[in-house]
Amino acid sequence: MTGREVVDLIRKNIGVPWNDQSFRDTFKVGNPDATVKGIATTVMATFGMLKRANEAGLNMIISHEDTYWNDRDDTKDLTSNPLYKLKTEYVQKNDMIVWRMHDHMHSMQPDYTVVGSLRSVGVKGGEHVGMHPPAMTIPETTLGEFASQVKRLTGSRAFRCVGDPKAKVSRILLGPGYATPVMTADADVVIGGEQQEADGAFDNVGYVADAAALGMPKGVIMLGHVVSEQPGMEDLAKWLGTFIKDVPIQFVPADEPFWT
C-alpha cells in the first residue's frame, strides 16, 4: 500500500464530502507513492516525533497540525533555513511520508479531537460529540480541584487557569485547539487550547477575572494546542484500524512544548 492509497481509503470511509480545495489536508513532504510500512498518527509532526515513529518502523505520518511552522506549510522562504533542511533530509533519507489531516477530521461526526479532549480531562458523556459540543455536567467540585484533576489526567506541565480556585463548578464547555469557546451563562468553566488574552471578539480571560472579583463561579483552563488536541489522534488511529488492515497503525504523541 502506498501513501496515496492510504489517503484514498480515508476518503472512502470518512463519511463526509471531501474538499479537494483544502490546503491543509495534503501531503507535506516525502513521496506519496512510496510503500507504507506503518502509520503513525500524531497531533504535530515535530522532529522528535518523527524520530520516534521512524525508530518504531512507521514511515507514514498522519499529523493533525502543520509540519513547517505555518498553517499552509509554505516553504518558499525556508529553503536556506538549516532546520528546514535537516527536517526534510531526515524524512527523505528514511523514506517517510507526512500527510496532514485537519479540516476533514473536524468535519467528522464524532469529531475525535473533541471526544479525546473531553476524555483526557475526565469529562464523561462526550463520546459522540461534534466540533462544538454543549456545556457538559460534572459532579460539583471546585475550580482548583478540577484543575488538579486535569493536571493529573493529562500529565501537562504548563496549562494555565483563570478564576477563584475555591469557586464551585459543575458545567464545562470545551473546544480544542483554536476552537476555545466563548464563556456562556450556563457554563462555569471554559476549557480550550489557545486564545488571545485581549482584543479578541470576546475576551474570556478578562471576563472571568472580573467574574471572580465579583464572586461569580467562572473559570478558564487553557491547555495549550498540543495537549488539547493530542488525545484525538489516538482515537483516529483506532478508527483507521477499522478499515486499514495491511499495515501497523500506532499513535505516536508529540511532546508538550511548554514547561514552567
For the chain, domain boundaries:
3-105, 112-226
**pLDDT one-digit tens code per residue, 201-249:** 999 999 999 999 999 999 999 999 999 999 999 999 999 999 999 999 9
- pLDDT value at residue 189: 98
Rg (CA), the chain: 19
- pLDDT value at residue 51: 98
Q: Please, which residues have CB within 8 angstroms of residue 232's CB and are 6 or more apart in sequence?
A: 43, 64, 105, 111, 112, 113, 114, 115, 116, 117, 176
Domain 112-226 coded CATH 3.40.50.300: no
User: What fold does the segment set 3-105 form as a domain?
Assistant: 3.40.1390
The candidate with the shortest Cα–Cα distance to 172, out of 230, 233, 214, 114, is 114
Contact status, residue 205 vs residue 197, Cβ threshold 8 Å: yes
The candidate with the shortest Cα–Cα distance to 16, out of 99, 126, 130, 125, is 130
Maximum distance among all alpha carbons in the chain?
61
**pLDDT one-digit tens code per residue, 96-122:** 999 999 999 999 999 999 999 999 999
| Model confidence, pTM | 0.96
Q: What's at 86, amino acid-wise? A: L
| The three cell numbers locating residue 38 | 506503518
